[in-house]
C-alpha cells in the first residue's frame, strides 16, 4: 500500500502545482483542454515524478542479504534429521 500512497501524494502535489501554473513552461497550463497538454503531462509524470518516487525499490530484494539470512537459519536449525520440523516459524 505504501507505493500506492506515495504515488497518490505525488499526483496530488502535481495537481496543485499545475493549478498554480508552475508547469505552464513545460506545456501543462492550469486548464488542460488539448491533447498536447495530456502528452506534456504524461511526459512530466514519466520523466520527473516517477523517478523521484523510486517505486522500483519496493519490489527489489537484496539477494545476498536474503541468502545470508537463509544460511543462518539453516545453521541455527542444525543438521537434518528424520524428526518432524519444529512448529516455530523460520
For 7-54, the pLDDT digits (tens) are 999 999 999 999 999 999 999 999 999 999 999 999 999 999 999 999
Contact between 50 and 64 (Cβ < 8 Å): no
Q: What is the pLDDT of residue 48?
A: 95
Confidence band (pLDDT; 50, 70, 90) for 90?
low
Overall residue count recorded for the chain in this entry: 90
Note the pLDDT of residue 25.
96
The pLDDT, as a whole number, for residue 87 is 74
Q: What is the pLDDT of residue 4?
A: 93
Own/partner pairs for 55-61, CB < 8 Å, 24+ apart? 55/3, 55/6, 55/7, 58/2, 58/3
Amino acid at each position: 500500500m505504501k507505493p500506492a500512497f506515495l504515488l497518490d501524494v505525488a499526483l496530488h502535489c502535481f495537481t496543485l502545482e499545475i493549478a498554480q501554473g508552475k508547469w505552464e513552461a513545460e506545456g501543462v497550463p492550469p486548464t488542460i483542454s488539448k491533447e498536447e497538454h495530456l502528452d506534456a503531462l504524461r511526459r512530466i509524470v514519466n520523466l520527473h515524478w516517477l523517478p523521484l518516487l523510486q517505486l522500483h525499490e519496493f519490489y527489489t530484494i537484496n539477494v545476498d542479504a536474503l541468502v545470508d539470512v537463509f544460511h543462518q537459519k539453516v545453521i541455527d536449525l542444525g543438521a537434518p534429521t528424520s524428526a518432524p520440523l519444529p512448529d516455530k516459524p523460520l
